[in-house]
Amino acid sequence: MPNARKRSPWDASLIRRAVVDAFAKLSPRAVMKNPVMCVVEVGSVVSSIYLFSATGMDHGSFWFDLQVTLWLWFTVLFANFAEAMAEGRGKAQAAALRRAKSETTAVRLKENGRTEEVPSSQLRAGDIVFVVAGELIPGDGEVIQGVASVDESAITGESAPVIREAGGDRSAVTGGTRVLSDQIKIEVSSNPGETFLDRMIALVEGAERQKTPNEIALNILLAGLTIIFLLAVVTLQAIATYSMVPQSVFVLVSLLVCLIPTTIGGLLSAIGIAGMDRLVQHNVLATSGRAVEAAGDVSTLLLDKTGTITLGNRQASEFIPAPGVSKDQLADAAQLSSLPDETPEGRSIVILAKEVYGLRGREFSELQAEFIPFSATTRMSGIDMEGRVIRKGSTEAVAAFLKERGGSLPDEVRDTVEVVARSGGTPLVVAENNRALGVIHLKDIVKGGMKERFAELRSMGIRTIMITGDNPLTAAAIAREAGVDDFLAEAKPKDKMDLIQREQAEGKLVAMTGDGTNDAPALAQADVGVAMNTGTQAAKEAGNMVDLDSNPTKLIEIVAIGKQLLMTRGALTTFSIANDVAKYFAIIPAMFAGVFPVLAVLNVMHLKNAQSAVLSAVIFNALIIVGLIPLALRGVSYRAMSAEALLRRNLMIYGFGGLASPFLGIKLIDMIITALHLA
């Protein structure tokens, strides 16, 4: 992400902005969203009114009442500050992205075949534009002709140029990025205001953030606890009045605020926002908070082979003719069948035929021919011309094609296919009419460092499955080389979906990374669907996350961030509730020690007096929110270990810590404020 990317969340300008925002968030509309803090704010308002009313002024304890009131306001402000801090980096990034949204002129194709210049803001989905080296791409779209290297640093922060090309799985381009070489023809896919950049801005800014079902459930629990304590405090006042020690509004509000779960209530939304922000720092844009949480519980990961595990630039490396067929004959048919084939595979075949076999280049438009484009379902492509029916494709697809025409696949060709596949290559069989002409060897390379990354996923308890449209032998060779746990070969788009649904039916959460149009249905079905930024528009729209770095093993970070988010929320909830229980022991004995001497045994802290006890508890309650902001933003430390061990460890640290800290903290504050004669 540009500019703001490496900025620390503790940058002075971010803090300054968060302080201002903390006050802005006092508005009733903002605070309404958080039931616990809403109660604290109402308490602060009530105390303030009492403080300056006639009864409050001559009450004799103005100094105490004033301090309590101020600390109540601080409690709300600290919670607001936490949320504002969590939002800060995203807002700064959004501002940087807005600057990247510059207006350019686009060269648009008119209906009469001529071109016209229009401002990029006038482009609509379906328009065709041309972009040449040096120009900015005027809108999101799909490359429909040509190849170019593109500088996408405005979006990804990555300065190395990337290849964008028609036909394959690397066809999507983003408005605001720059073409560095060559020329491309683009079909625009978005309308003004709905571009990737617009969505990205809204996302990092948090404008689209919705509470996740987990967050809503936790909020309901916290609201329930708040109501219970509200009733408890009202009842307590009845008892106190009966015992002739009615308590002041200030003491009652203090008691209430100390008992309700203000720590987690104040930090909950900051934890969620910080989790999304951590993803953004890893160049992942998540459109749903729910997906981030699901990532924390994922147990199966599906990856697509070509372009995800391998570099995805399958290149023809050799033509291997069938017995009785010359190399030239095979090269000629391979070239003819690929002339209009805009896939990387197709283009590489044309190049191989020309450069290595010396075939002269031909223009498809000059031939009387019909092109049959490749599809993931037919697994074949080819042309029909002047009585010649030429096809190239996967072994089984071509074998079926030959059988239909009364031919068959010779054993020698099957042997060649096997040799190519065992080496990890993709064999394409070429056939003309009812005769097999030979095999094209397509080579692809497994990306570096895959084995180690998959081993890491395994230690997190995640099973990796590679799915590919390729044949089982190639799939097995690549699966072994990449170190995935399992693979599914000859998969059609529907098979990917079915596999996901089967895993989900067993109650597993499934993550999937992919880039192709044929991956889109599966990306939509997966609980966590991570589309590669290099992929097709269809894939990017179907998933619920986009990885700007297009790194399929990014899921390791995504899972870690998801787990960290869940753990942080769990840890701070435990801490908060344990904390409130402990505060009870600070305040109640102090309130009633005068009338019920037995309560003195509960007064384990030996606080100076009733006022200092109440004030210390309120101050501690407010300060603990600030103290935990770094943890809420950074997340609790995550280590790959079993869920059970993690739970035990967290209960120990945060449960015990939550119980013990108020005793120490409140005692310390009591000593300080009595020394300063504040109470």
Per DSSP (E only), the strands in 405-540 are 426-432, 435-443, 463-467, 486-488, 510-514, 528-532
416 is in an annotated binding site: no
Residue 304 annotated to the active site: yes
| Distance from C-alpha of 308 to C-alpha of 450, rounded to nearest angstrom | 10
Q: Give whichever of 253 and 397 is closer to Mg ion, judged by the CB atom.
A: 397
| Distance from C-alpha of 617 to C-alpha of 663, rounded to nearest angstrom | 10
515 is in an annotated binding site: yes
The mark string for 316-345 relative to ligand ATP (x by CB under 6 A, - otherwise) is: -------------------------x-x-x
Q: Which two structure tokens, joined as six digits, stand for 209?
A: 């953030």
- Judged by CB under 6 A, which stretch of 56-64, 122-130, 241-249, 376-384 contacts ligand ATP? 376-384
- Judged by CB under 6 A, which stretch of 117-125, 298-306, 539-547, 652-660 contacts ligand ATP? 298-306
Interface residues for ligand ATP in 466-495 (CB under 6 A)? 468-470
Q: Alpha helices, DSSP H only, in 356-425?
A: 395-404, 411-422
User: Should residue 383 be labelled a site residue for ligand ATP when binding is judged by CB under 6 A?
Assistant: no
399 binds, among ligand ATP, Mg ion, K ion, none (CB under 5 to 8 A by kind): none
CB neighbour list of residue 226: distance below 8 Å, 6 or more residues apart = 35, 36, 39, 260, 261, 265
The least CB distance from residue 636 to Mg ion, in Å, is 39
Instruction: Tell me the CA distances in angstroms from 295 to 217, 282, 554, 656, one per residue in order.
Output: 18, 15, 12, 28
Parallel, antiparallel or unpaired: strands 183-188 and 178-179? unpaired
User: Should residue 75 be labelled a site residue for K ion when binding is judged by CB under 5 A?
Assistant: no
| Distance from C-alpha of 80 to C-alpha of 266, rounded to nearest angstrom | 7
44 binds, among Mg ion, K ion, ligand ATP, none (CB under 5 to 8 A by kind): none
The candidate with the shortest Cα–Cα distance to 257, out of 383, 30, 69, 119, is 69
The least CB distance from residue 472 to Mg ion, in Å, is 16
By the 8 A CB rule, do 655 and 584 touch? no
Q: Which residues bind Mg ion (CB under 5 A)?
A: 306, 516
459 is in an annotated binding site: no
User: Should residue 304 be labelled a site residue for ligand ATP when binding is judged by CB under 6 A?
Assistant: yes
* Residues contacting ligand ATP: total by CB under 6 A: 22
Report the half-sphere exposure of 145 (CA within 13 A, side-chain side).
8
379 binds, among K ion, ligand ATP, Mg ion, none (CB under 5 to 8 A by kind): ligand ATP
Burial per residue of 97-116, b for 16 or more beta-carbon CB atoms within 10 angstroms, e otherwise: beebbeebebbbeeeeeeee
By the 8 A CB rule, do 595 and 245 touch? yes
SS in 3 state form for 182-249? CEEEEEECCCCCCCHHHHHHHHHHCCCCCCCHHHHHHHHHHHHHHHHHHHHHHHHHHHHHHCCCCCCH
Q: Give whichever of 298 and 372 is closer to ligand ATP, judged by the CB atom.
A: 372
Q: Give whichever of 44 and 381 is closer to ligand ATP, judged by the CB atom.
A: 381
The mark string for 569-608 relative to K ion (x by CB under 5 A, - otherwise) is: -----------x----------------------------
Q: Give whichever of 256 and 475 is closer to ligand ATP, judged by the CB atom.
A: 475
Interface residues for ligand ATP in 408-427 (CB under 6 A)? 426
Q: Which residue is nearest to K ion (CB)?
A: 262
Phi, psi of 10 (to 5 degrees): -100, 15
Instruction: Tell me the CA distances in angstroms from 146 to 10, 169, 405, one per residue in order.
Output: 46, 14, 35
User: Should residue 346 be labelled a site residue for ligand ATP when binding is judged by CB under 6 A?
Assistant: yes
What are the counts of helices (DSSP H) followed by strands (DSSP E) for the chain?
Answer: 24, 22
CB neighbour list of residue 72: distance below 8 Å, 6 or more residues apart = 40, 43, 44, 47, 253, 254, 257, 618, 622
341 is in an annotated binding site: yes
| Interacting residue with ligand ATP among 47, 174, 262, 381 (CB under 6 A) | 381
392 is in an annotated binding site: yes
| Distance from C-alpha of 511 to C-alpha of 315, rounded to nearest angstrom | 29
| Distance from C-alpha of 462 to C-alpha of 214, rounded to nearest angstrom | 22
380 is in an annotated binding site: yes
Q: Give whichever of 280 and 330 is closer to ligand ATP, judged by the CB atom.
A: 330
Interface residues for ligand ATP in 500-529 (CB under 6 A)? 516, 518
The mark string for 594-633 relative to ligand ATP (x by CB under 6 A, - otherwise) is: ----------------------------------------
- Dihedral of CA 665/666/672/678: which sign? positive
| Distance from C-alpha of 570 to C-alpha of 654, rounded to nearest angstrom | 9
Count of C-beta atoms within a 10 Å radius of residue 299: 15
Q: Give whichever of 100 and 479 is closer to ligand ATP, judged by the CB atom.
A: 479
Crossing angle, helix 555-592 and helix 213-242, to 10 degrees? Answer: 0
User: Should residue 534 be labelled a site residue for ligand ATP when binding is judged by CB under 6 A?
Assistant: no
Q: Give whichever of 156 and 621 is closer to K ion, judged by the CB atom.
A: 621
The least CB distance from residue 662 to Mg ion, in Å, is 58
| Distance from C-alpha of 372 to C-alpha of 433, rounded to nearest angstrom | 14
29 is in an annotated binding site: no
375 is in an annotated binding site: yes
Residue type, 292: V
Count of C-beta atoms within a 10 Å radius of residue 263: 26
| Interacting residue with K ion among 67, 219, 248, 262 (CB under 5 A) | 262
User: Should residue 380 be labelled a site residue for ligand ATP when binding is judged by CB under 6 A?
Assistant: yes
Q: Give whichever of 262 and 544 is closer to K ion, judged by the CB atom.
A: 262
| Interacting residue with ligand ATP among 78, 374, 487, 575 (CB under 6 A) | 374
The least CB distance from residue 380 to ligand ATP, in Å, is 5
Q: Alpha helices, DSSP H only, in 593-679?
A: 610-634, 643-650, 657-675
342 binds, among Mg ion, ligand ATP, K ion, none (CB under 5 to 8 A by kind): none
Which among 21, 65, 304, 670 is annotated as catalytic?
304
262 binds, among K ion, ligand ATP, Mg ion, none (CB under 5 to 8 A by kind): K ion
519 is in an annotated binding site: yes
DSSP string computed for 455-475: HHHHHTT-EEEEE-SS-HHHH
| Distance from C-alpha of 538 to C-alpha of 600, rounded to nearest angstrom | 69
Q: Which two structure tokens, joined as six digits, stand for 392?
A: 């190239």
| Interacting residue with ligand ATP among 428, 523, 545, 636 (CB under 6 A) | 428
Q: Give whichever of 131 and 380 is closer to ligand ATP, judged by the CB atom.
A: 380
The least CB distance from residue 442 to ligand ATP, in Å, is 7
Interface residues for K ion in 277-296 (CB under 5 A)? none
CB neighbour list of residue 228: distance below 8 Å, 6 or more residues apart = none
Q: Give whichever of 342 and 580 is closer to K ion, judged by the CB atom.
A: 580
**Binding stretches for ligand ATP (CB under 6 A):** 304-306, 341, 343, 345-346, 374, 376, 379-381, 392-394, 426, 428, 468-470, 516, 518
Numbered residues of the known binding site: 341, 345, 374-381, 392, 515, 519
The residues that touch K ion, with contacts defined as CB under 5 A, are: 262, 580, 621
Binding annotation for ATP = 341, 345, 374-381, 392
Could you list the residues known to form a binding site for Mg(2+), using ranges.
515, 519
Return the active site residues. 304
